[in-house]
């Protein structure tokens, strides 16, 4: 099984290296629509509007103006969905090599590292994600989950609170923040 996966990743590498040099990449986190969407996200009290805006932000983050990178993102996601995490990891690594300023490539690889239980690598990729896109609420929420798994509740609370500052409409995150605040009540945070 590993042989087939490695062959697919190698073939993908050849395609990427051949096509990547010909097309410039606009990092999706620099999309001019995002500022307006984040402002709308903070100003709305309407759940449906917040859900729609959040979905639009995710859609922009996932899209690179480079069709090869988009294809690689789709293939890597397909591997991740079917549980071929090594292939997904290899695909996201190629995306990062081809487009190191594309925040979502780093975020997706962080997710795969998380699924593999490699929390230190996931944290490193999350830090790169939020360096490139400081408003990446998904990365901060993921960081909070990692810190929870590591038993670092104060660090988890800080990361989850940051996610909520950016997107106050993350219901599950809000619940976890409330639980952590209650649990840590009276302790210096």
> In this structure, is the dihedral angle defined by the CA atoms of residues 12, 80, 84 and 96, taken in order, positive or negative?
positive
Per-residue pLDDT of the chain (189 residues), as tens digits, is 445 555 555 444 444 444 444 334 445 788 889 999 999 999 999 999 999 999 999 999 998 878 899 999 999 999 999 999 999 999 999 999 999 999 999 999 999 999 999 999 999 999 999 999 999 999 999 999 999 999 999 999 999 999 999 999 999 999 999 999 999 985 544
To which residue do tokens 């079917």 refer? 82
What pLDDT was estimated at residue 22? 38
User: Within 13 Å, how many C-alpha atoms sit on residue 134's CB side?
Assistant: 2
Residue 90 to residue 37: CA distance in whole angstroms: 32
Give the pair of three-digit tokens for residue 79: 């591997």
What pLDDT was estimated at residue 30? 84
Domain ranges for the chain: 1-24+65-116
Residue 152 to residue 54: CA distance in whole angstroms: 28
What pLDDT was estimated at residue 28? 79
Give the pair of three-digit tokens for residue 88: 């997904």
Give the pair of three-digit tokens for residue 166: 């950016």
Architecture, CATH, for domain 1-24+65-116: Alpha Horseshoe (1.25)
What pLDDT was estimated at residue 123? 98
Residue 69 to residue 78: CA distance in whole angstroms: 14
């Amino acid at each position: 099984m590993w042989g087939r996966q490695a062959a697919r990743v190698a073939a993908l590498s050849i395609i990427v290296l051949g096509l990547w040099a010909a097309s410039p990449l606009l990092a999706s986190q620099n999309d001019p629509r995002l500022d307006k969407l984040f402002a709308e996200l903070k100003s709305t009290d309407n759940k449906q509007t917040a859900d729609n805006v959040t979905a639009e932000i995710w859609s922009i983050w996932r899209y690179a103006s480079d069709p090869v990178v988009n294809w690689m993102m789709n293939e890597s996601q397909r591997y991740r969905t079917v549980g071929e995490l090594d292939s997904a990891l290899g695909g996201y690594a190629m995306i990062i090599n081809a487009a190191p300023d594309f925040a979502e490539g780093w975020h997706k690889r962080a997710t795969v590292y998380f699924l593999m239980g490699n929390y230190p690598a996931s944290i490193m990729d999350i830090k790169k994600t939020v360096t490139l896109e400081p408003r990446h609420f998904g990365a901060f929420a993921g960081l909070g989950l990692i810190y929870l798994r590591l038993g670092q509740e104060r660090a988890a609370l800080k990361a989850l609170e940051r996610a909520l500052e950016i997107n106050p409409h993350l219901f599950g995150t809000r619940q976890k923040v409330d639980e952590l605040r209650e649990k840590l009540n009276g302790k210096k945070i």
